[in-house]
């Protein structure tokens, strides 16, 4: 007979979270806007890096100006784990929506602040110092942003559509980059190169303010996620974060592997390559921008398709495919990009974009599913932001290596190394598609789907119990054999 405790632990139809599609869409829009602002800044920063070098580091050579500007981009990544730890802890304690409202506010103000900093000619050494301070503040806020947004979307998404729903998060990233790069190109063409270098570069950064205000309004209007509310209502026992390092060691390493292998190629493609084309390949900046923007438009739609397809075939095949693509196609891609032929250059960029999409299209749906609700924000933010430190150094390290060696294939070798990181991760990764989030009851879109998910949930439990029973029988037989060999244990 079942005891009262057994009954209280049963998962029935009332335990299935049913989330209306309208609420899911609102959650996705509010979460994706933060990513849009983050990557709006990255898109603008990457495309005006050559101008910022002249504004903030005028007394150095063009090569050192570029490296110094990219370093100002990369150094804040060191501070992202601090933001991840702070906002991760607060997000698990006080809820997801409140922390996401705070992070988008800090991120918006710091991005806007870049456009308000006077030049080196006006205030001297304080100009680059202020740039670094603002970028550090931005890094701390972003430390809690992506992890929180990914969790927010994952905890609002039905299990059977989590891949597609979460793919909109990085759709926002790519869209933000496109809007940023497009804004730079538009303003530059309207005011002319000279005026753009004098004052026009400030406009794109200032435009982040209205975007951020809209994002803050949408996030404040949302309800807390169903998974977090249920965990709070049940007053589940909190897991000390130090136990995460032992209890969830495999999940932490898998998270690190996915994030590093994805974001290294992401930052290479979106942040470093615009400067690589202009500075190293001497390609006209406006032409390079148009080719890159064209590839990014293709990535937008491919991102959503891969997210949708991962709900059908799983996330693991895409981690394998994206990693193998980096290993075997990175060198050919850079051979095409350095050929000097625009059509071949476009083809090389498309190969890298495809590699990015295969990994990025499943990342936001995958990494929140690795950890239980109580420590999901803390664990994911810590693992994600420690990983992102390595990825964020990609533009600076690659630029320095290319300058010191004169070898234009260095970026390809760099990507190949991290392709192997992704491949190893794929071997250790356990499939999460169409399954509930770790330690969470299934999430459905309607009542009928809730019934279907409950049946599948119970079937999975039955399979696990059967495997345990088989293991127990095997251990029992081994025990009897050992006991039979001992005179006193018979």
pLDDT tens sequence for the chain (490 residues): 444 445 556 766 766 777 777 777 888 888 888 778 777 877 787 677 777 777 777 767 676 766 777 677 677 777 888 888 888 888 888 888 888 888 888 888 888 888 888 887 888 888 888 888 888 888 888 888 888 888 888 888 888 889 999 999 888 888 888 888 788 888 888 888 778 878 888 888 888 888 888 878 878 777 777 777 777 765 555 555 666 677 788 889 999 999 999 989 888 887 788 778 887 888 776 666 677 777 778 888 898 999 999 999 999 999 999 999 999 999 999 999 988 888 888 889 889 999 999 999 999 999 999 988 888 888 888 888 888 878 878 888 888 899 888 899 999 999 999 999 999 999 999 998 888 888 777 887 777 777 777 787 788 888 889 989 889 988 888 888 888 888 877 6
Which of 463, 461, 444, 462 shows the shortest CA–CA distance to 453?
444
Closest-CA residue to 173 (of 266, 106, 104, 111): 266
> Residue 235: what pLDDT?
54
Q: Is the Cβ–Cβ distance between 402 and 410 less than 8 Å?
A: yes
Which pLDDT score is estimated for 315?
Answer: 94
- The CATH homologous superfamily of the domain defined by 15-235+244-445: MFS general substrate transporter like domains (1.20.1250.20)
- Output the pLDDT for position 5: 46
Cα angle 49-51-54, degrees, rounded to a multiple of 5: 110
pTM above 0.85, yes or no: no
Q: What is the reported pLDDT for 4?
A: 46
The 10 Å CB-count burial string (b at 16+, else e) for 73-112 is bbbbbebbbebbbebbbbbbeebbbebbbbbbbbbbbbbb
Region of residue 372 (phi > 0: left; psi between -120 and 50: alpha; otherwise: beta): beta
């Amino acid at each position: 007979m079942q005891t009262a405790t057994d009954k209280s632990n049963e998962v029935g139809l009332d335990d299935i979270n049913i989330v209306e599609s309208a609420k899911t869409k609102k959650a996705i829009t509010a979460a994706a806007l933060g990513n849009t602002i983050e990557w709006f800044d990255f898109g603008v920063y990457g495309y005006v890096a050559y101008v910022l070098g002249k504004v903030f580091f005028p007394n150095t050579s063009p090569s050192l100006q570029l490296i110094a500007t990219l370093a100002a981009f990369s150094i804040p990544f060191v501070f992202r784990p601090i933001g991840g730890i702070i906002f991760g802890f607060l997000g698990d304690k006080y809820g997801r929506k409140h922390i996401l409202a705070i992070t988008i506010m800090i991120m918006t103000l710091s991005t806007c602040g870049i456009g308000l900093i006077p030049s080196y000619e006006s205030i001297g050494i304080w100009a680059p110092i202020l740039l670094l301070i603002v970028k550090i503040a931005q890094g701390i806020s972003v430390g809690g942003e992506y992890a929180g947004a990914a969790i927010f979307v994952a905890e609002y998404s039905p299990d059977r559509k989590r891949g597609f729903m979460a793919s909109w998060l990085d759709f926002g990233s790519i869209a933000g980059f496109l809007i940023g790069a497009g804004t730079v190109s538009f303003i530059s063409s309207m005011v002319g190169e000279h005026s753009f270098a004098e004052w026009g570069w400030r406009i794109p950064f200032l435009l982040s303010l209205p975007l951020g205000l809209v994002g803050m309004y949408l996030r404040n209007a949302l309800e807390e996620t169903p998974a977090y509310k249920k965990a709070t209502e049940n007053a589940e026992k909190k897991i000390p974060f130090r136990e995460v390092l032992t209890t969830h060691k495999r999940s932490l390493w898998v998270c690190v592997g996915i994030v590093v292998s994805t974001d290294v190629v992401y930052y290479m493609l979106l942040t470093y390559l615009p400067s690589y084309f202009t500075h190293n390949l001497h390609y006209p900046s406006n032409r390079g921008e148009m080719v890159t923007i064209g590839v990014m438009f293709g990535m937008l739609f491919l991102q959503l398709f891969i997210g949708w397809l991962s709900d059908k075939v799983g996330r693991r095949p895409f981690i394998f495919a994206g990693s193998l693509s980096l290993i075997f196609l990175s060198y050919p891609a850079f051979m095409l990009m350095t050929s000097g032929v625009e059509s071949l250059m476009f083809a090389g960029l498309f190969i890298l974009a495809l590699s990015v999409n295969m990994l990025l299209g499943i990342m936001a749906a995958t990494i929140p599913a690795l950890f239980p609700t109580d420590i999901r924000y803390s664990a994911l933010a810590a693992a994600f932001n420690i990983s992102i430190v390595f990825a964020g150094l990609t533009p600076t390290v690659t630029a320095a290596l290319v300058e010191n060696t004169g070898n234009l294939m260095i970026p390809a070798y760099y990507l190949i190394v991290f392709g192997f990181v992704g491949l190893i991760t794929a071997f250790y990764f356990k499939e999460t598609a169409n399954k509930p989030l770790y330690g969470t009851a299934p999430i459905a879109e309607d009542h009928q789907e809730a019934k279907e998910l409950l049946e599948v949930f119970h079937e999975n439990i039955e399979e696990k119990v059967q495997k345990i029973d088989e293991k127990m029988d095997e251990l029992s037989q081994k025990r009897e054999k050992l006991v039979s060999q001992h005179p006193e244990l018979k």
